[in-house]
C-alpha cells in the first residue's frame, strides 16, 4: 500500500510557493498561519539535505513552534496577521524592545528572525535562478548569507553556517530535491516565486520599520 504520510513529507517547491502566495491577503495583511506553513515546508527541504543542517533547521523549527503556539492560544485572533500581532503585542507591552527581559519569545522578535532569513532566501534563490549549470550553490548560499543574516549572527554561528554551506549539494542535485521538474522548469518557477517572496518580505519589513522593531533583541 502506498504511504501517504511519506509522500506528504516530500518537499515540493510549488507547494511552498503556494503557501507564500496565500499568505498575503487582499488588503496586504501577512497571514501568520500561512507564513509559518511556508517556513515549515522550507525546513522540510533543509532536512532532506542531510543532518549537517540540523542545527539550522532546529532553530527554525523552534521559532515556528513558538508562533504555532500563539496561533493556538486563547489570543489567536490577534495572531492572525503580522499587522494584528504587532499591534496586539505592542499595545499590551508583550515585547522586549531594547534588551532581553521578560519576553524572550515574543511573536514580534521570533517572526523577525524568520523575516531576516526570508531575505537570505530571496537573495539565494535569485542567484540560483540566474546561475549557469556549473554554478556553485555553496558560494551562492554564503554570498546571500553574508549580505543578509550574517550581519545579525555572532562569529560562532557564522562559522558553523560557513561549514554547513560547504556540504550543500551541487546545482543539479539541488534542483532535483526541489521536486519541480526539469531545470528550466525550476528556473521558471523561481522566476514566478521571487517577486512573491520579495513582496511578502517588503510588507513585513515596512510593518516592522514603521513600528521601529527591526532591531528587537
Ligand atoms: C539550503 C541551505 C540552507 C542554508 C540556510 C542559511 C541560513 C543560515 C542560518 C544559520 C542559522 C544558524 C542557527 C542559529 C540561529 C540563531 O542564532 C538565530 C538567531 O536566533 P535567536 O535570536 O533566537 O538566538 N536564528 C536565526 O537567525 C533564524 C534562522 C532561520 C534559518 C532558517 C533557514 C531555513 C532554510 C531553508 C532552506 C530552503 C532552501 C530553499 C530552496 C527552495
pLDDT of residue 18: 85
Mean pLDDT (whole number) for 181-206: 94
Whether residue 1 lies inside any domain: the answer is no
- Report the distance separating Cα 97 and Cα 214, nearest Å: 10
Whether residue 123 lies inside any domain: the answer is yes
Domain extent for 103 = 12-210
Whether residue 17 lies inside any domain: the answer is yes
Phi and psi, residue 205, nearest 5°: -55, -45
**Ligand 1 nearest-atom number relative to CA 217:** 22
pLDDT of residue 2: 47
Mean pLDDT (whole number) for 73-98: 98
Residue 102 sits in a domain of what CATH number?
1.10.3520.10
Residue with grid cell 513529507, as numbered in its chain: 9
The answer on pLDDT for 56 being more than 50 is yes
**Ligand 1 nearest-atom number relative to CA 49:** 1
- Work out how many domains the chain is built from and give that number: 1
Mean pLDDT (whole number) for 10-32: 89
Whether residue 6 lies inside any domain: the answer is no
At 158-182, the pLDDT tens digits run 999 999 999 999 999 999 988 889 9
Q: Which of 143, 153, 191 to mutate to test the pocket of ligand 1 (most atoms within 8 A of CB)?
A: 153
Mean pLDDT (whole number) for 35-45: 94
**C-alpha distances out from residue 138 to 144, 146, 195, 204, Å:** 10, 12, 23, 28
pLDDT of residue 9: 61
Amino acid at each position: 500500500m502506498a504511504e501517504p504520510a511519506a509522500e506528504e513529507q516530500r518537499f515540493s517547491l510549488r507547494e511552498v510557493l503556494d503557501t507564500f502566495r496565500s499568505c498575503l491577503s487582499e488588503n496586504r495583511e501577512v497571514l501568520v498561519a500561512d507564513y509559518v506553513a511556508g517556513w515549515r515546508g522550507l525546513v522540510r527541504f533543509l532536512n532532506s539535505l542531510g543532518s549537517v543542517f540540523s542545527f539550522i533547521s532546529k532553530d527554525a523549527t523552534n521559532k515556528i513552534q513558538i508562533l504555532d503556539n500563539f496561533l493556538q492560544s486563547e489570543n489567536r485572533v490577534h495572531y492572525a496577521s503580522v499587522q494584528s500581532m504587532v499591534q496586539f503585542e505592542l499595545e499590551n507591552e508583550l515585547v522586549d524592545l531594547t534588551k532581553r527581559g521578560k519576553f524572550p519569545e515574543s511573536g514580534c522578535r521570533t517572526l523577525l528572525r524568520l523575516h531576516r532569513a526570508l531575505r537570505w532566501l530571496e537573495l539565494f534563490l535569485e542567484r540560483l535562478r540566474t546561475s549557469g549549470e556549473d554554478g556553485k550553490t555553496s558560494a551562492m548560499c554564503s554570498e546571500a548569507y553574508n549580505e543578509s543574516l550574517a550581519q545579525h549572527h555572532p562569529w560562532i554561528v557564522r562559522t558553523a553556517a560557513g561549514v554547513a554551506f560547504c556540504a550543500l549539494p551541487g546545482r543539479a542535485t539541488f534542483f532535483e530535491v526541489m521536486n519541480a521538474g526539469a531545470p528550466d522548469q525550476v528556473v521558471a518557477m523561481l522566476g514566478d516565486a521571487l517577486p512573491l517572496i520579495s513582496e511578502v518580505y517588503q510588507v513585513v519589513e515596512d510593518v516592522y520599520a514603521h513600528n521601529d522593531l527591526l532591531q528587537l533583541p
